[in-house]
Amino acid sequence: PMGSERTEIRKRQMATTPETPGAAQAQLSTGNRGSNACCFCWCCCCSCSCLTVRNQEEERARRTSHELQAEGIPNCEESPAPTLEEVNAWAQSFDKLMLTPAGRNAFREFLRTEFSEENMLFWMACEELKQESNKSVIEEKARLIYEDYISILSPKEVSLDSRVREVINRNMLEPSQHTFDDAQLQIYTLMHRDSYPRFMNSAIYKDLLQSLSEKPTEA
């Protein structure tokens, strides 16, 4: 009886042993398919890399779009080189600094170092809008200004209080040359009070002043 039992056990082992590698291989294959399937599913698991890649591609596309828009913005206005008298006048008042293209260019270069160049760009865009008389052009430029500097989705959004934003939203129902007047004044005041004093103490202004002061002695 003991021998027959051992024989029976051996037969069972021999019958089940060949199935083990196949079962293990099938299980491994199934596991691999499961992990690969995750990569084709946008919602299946948090470790899937597809969402990360897709988000990176979308972010790269948005960044490229903004960079292309920025390429259309000139680095500076065309203007003759400032004289020593003009540069000295910039220290007298912010209005005199903003009156000339050379002054705006120097101030804009400083704002760029503080990552607030959008304030000057917005102010300049508003000045340009005021020069327009064609209704369709005014509407198009007003829309672009809103998208570039007012929209909370824009990377160049300027800092405005809620009252001014409400005024702009009402004005955008029927845009005109003066749609952004309140906002332009608020940004002008912000640059005057916040950035202008630092500009007067900056290396950009001091180096320019020194270079112009030394020119007569060199001649």
CATH of the domain at 147: 1.10.167.10
Domain membership of residue 59 (yes or no) is no
User: What per-residue confidence (pLDDT) applies to 37?
Assistant: 42
Distance CA 87, CA 106 (A): 10
132 in Cβ contact with 141 (< 8 Å): yes
Domain membership of residue 150 (yes or no) is yes
Total number of domains constituting the chain: 1
Domain membership of residue 127 (yes or no) is yes
User: What per-residue confidence (pLDDT) applies to 215?
Assistant: 76
Domain membership of residue 106 (yes or no) is yes
User: What per-residue confidence (pLDDT) applies to 77?
Assistant: 79
User: What per-residue confidence (pLDDT) applies to 130?
Assistant: 97
Domain membership of residue 13 (yes or no) is no
Domain membership of residue 10 (yes or no) is no
User: What per-residue confidence (pLDDT) applies to 129?
Assistant: 97
User: What per-residue confidence (pLDDT) applies to 7?
Assistant: 57
Instruction: Dig out the tokens for 133 from the structure.
Output: 């008389």
Q: Is 191 exposed, middle or buried (0-12, 13-18, 19+ CB in 10 A)?
A: buried
Domain membership of residue 184 (yes or no) is yes
Give CA separation, 109 vs 121, 195, 202, in Å: 12, 12, 11
Distance CA 69, CA 66 (A): 5
pLDDT lower than 70: segments of the chain: 1-75, 216-219
What's the whole-model pTM score?
Answer: 0.65
106 in Cβ contact with 208 (< 8 Å): yes
Distance of CA 125 to the CA centre of its chain: 18
Instruction: Dig out the tokens for 104 from the structure.
Output: 């705006």
Could you list the residue range(s) of the whole structural domain that residue 172 is in?
84-214
User: What per-residue confidence (pLDDT) applies to 10?
Assistant: 58
User: What per-residue confidence (pLDDT) applies to 214?
Assistant: 87
Domain membership of residue 54 (yes or no) is no
